[in-house]
């Protein structure tokens, strides 16, 4: 655990009140979509069948997002299809709420309009109908021991840097991100999941206390699980729930995909397979 965690500023969080009609709320993240395949087909089936009234997509929906102008480019039909499926879900009465990840932080207003989705700041507080406050985040901002990534994150989240990138021709942006992704994949293969810095537990606890929440739900780390965060002096139990990434393509290691679901009347959040959640 990093001893420097308390010195990191705690971001403000937007409060979102769950609507009275939200009897089923789903959270997923780290889909890393990039082409039509087994992962997308499974997600599409889930989107067409889920009974949820609210779906929270907590970042890295896409493997990479180079700008909303792909929605008007004939060479990016897949991204357009994803947006249209989300819009169809919204049309059936399920609110779609998005959060930026470290791969798709350039998702912007045009995508939200086409997908009929709402972009949430990271972090955001979801207050459930029973009054419980849940803190939602992609999770990368909490991995403070990965100093190189935190420096990179600060750079690419700079609006001036983003504007300069988006002014480049689409083909140039695609080429640049392909090169960056290749470098990232090489690092990931060398380190493995366990080689990456995990969420700093003390900073996560500080976020929860600052926002009067008891549960932190996040993705990013690809280490699904649940971790207690409370200290003896805390008035209530604190925890963080880590979402699963989605990887169902043959030849890419163990297959994995989970939906985290809250249902009115259930004692706690449940982890479901996409098939079980699509009923």
- What is the distance between the alpha carbons of residues 88 and 174, in angstroms, rounded to a whole number? 28
Residue 119 near residue 111, CB atoms below 8 Å: no
| pLDDT recorded at residue 232 | 81
End-to-end CA distance of the chain: 40
Q: Using CB atoms within 10 Å of the CB of residue 224, give its burial: 0 to 12 exposed, 13 to 18 middle, 19+ buried.
A: middle
Q: Which two tokens stand for residue 242?
A: 């880590």
Place of tokens 């406050």: 133
In this structure, the number of other CB atoms found within 10 A of the CB of residue 119 comes to: 15
Domains of the chain with CATH codes: 19-277 (3.60.21.10)
Residue 105 near residue 157, CB atoms below 8 Å: yes
Across the 279 residues of the chain, what is the mean pLDDT of every consecutive 10-residue run?
A: 60 96 97 95 98 98 97 97 98 98 97 98 96 97 93 94 96 91 67 72 96 97 95 87 96 90 95 95
Residue 57: closest CA among 35, 81, 89, 93: 89
H, E, C per residue of the chain: CCCCHHHCCCCCCEEEECCCCCCEEEEECCCCECCCCHHHHHHHHHHHHCCCCEEEECCCCECCCCCHHHHHCHHHHHHHHHHHHHHHHHHCCCEEEEECCCCCCCCCHHHHHHHCEEEECCCEEEECCCCCEEEEECCHHHCCCCHHHHHHHHHHCCHHHHHHHHCCCHHHHHHHHHHHHHHHHHHHHHHCHHHCCCCCHHHHHHHHHHCCCCEEEECCCCCCEEEECCCCCCCCCCEEEECCCCECCCCCCCCECCEEEEECCCCCCEEECHHHHCC
| pLDDT recorded at residue 8 | 84
| pLDDT recorded at residue 65 | 97
Residue 196 near residue 224, CB atoms below 8 Å: no
- What is the distance between the alpha carbons of residues 127 and 119, in angstroms, rounded to a whole number? 17
- What is the distance between the alpha carbons of residues 4 and 122, in angstroms, rounded to a whole number? 21
Strand partners, 10: none
The answer to whether the predicted template modeling score (pTM) of the entire model surpasses 0.95 is no
Q: Which residues are within 8 A (CB) of 84 and not within 5 positions of it... i.e. 6 or more apart? A: 114, 115
| pLDDT recorded at residue 188 | 64
| pLDDT recorded at residue 195 | 56
| pLDDT recorded at residue 253 | 80
- What is the distance between the alpha carbons of residues 121 and 55, in angstroms, rounded to a whole number? 15
Place of tokens 């810095």: 197
């Amino acid at each position: 655990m990093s001893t420097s965690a308390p010195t990191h500023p705690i971001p403000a969080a937007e409060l979102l009140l769950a609507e009275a009609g939200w009897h089923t709320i789903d959270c997923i993240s780290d889909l890393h979509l990039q082409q039509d395949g087994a992962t997308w087909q499974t997600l599409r089936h889930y989107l067409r069948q889920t009974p949820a009234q609210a779906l929270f997509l907590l970042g890295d929906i896409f493997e990479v997002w180079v700008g909303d102008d792909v929605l008007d480019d004939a060479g990016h039909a897949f991204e357009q299809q994803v947006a249209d499926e989300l819009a169809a879900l919204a049309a059936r009465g399920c609110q779609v709420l998005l959060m930026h990840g470290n791969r798709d932080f350039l998702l912007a207003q045009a995508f939200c309009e086409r997908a009929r989705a709402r972009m949430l700041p990271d972090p955001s507080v979801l207050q459930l109908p029973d009054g419980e406050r849940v803190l939602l985040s992609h999770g990368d901002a909490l991995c403070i021991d990965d100093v190189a990534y935190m420096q990179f994150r600060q750079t690419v989240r700079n609006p001036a840097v983003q504007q300069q990138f988006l002014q480049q021709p689409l083909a140039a942006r695609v080429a640049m991100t392909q090169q960056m992704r290749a470098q990232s994949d090489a690092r990931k293969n060398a380190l493995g999941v366990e080689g990456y810095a995990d969420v700093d537990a003390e900073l996560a606890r500080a976020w929860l206390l600052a926002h009067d929440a008891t549960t932190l739900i996040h993705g990013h780390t690809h280490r699904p699980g649940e971790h207690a965060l409370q200290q003896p002096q805390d008035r209530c139990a604190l925890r963080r729930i880590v979402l699963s990434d989605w990887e169902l393509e043959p030849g890419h290691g163990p297959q994995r995909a989970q939906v985290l679901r809250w249902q009115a009347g259930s004692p706690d959040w449940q982890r479901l397979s996409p098939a079980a959640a699509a009923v």
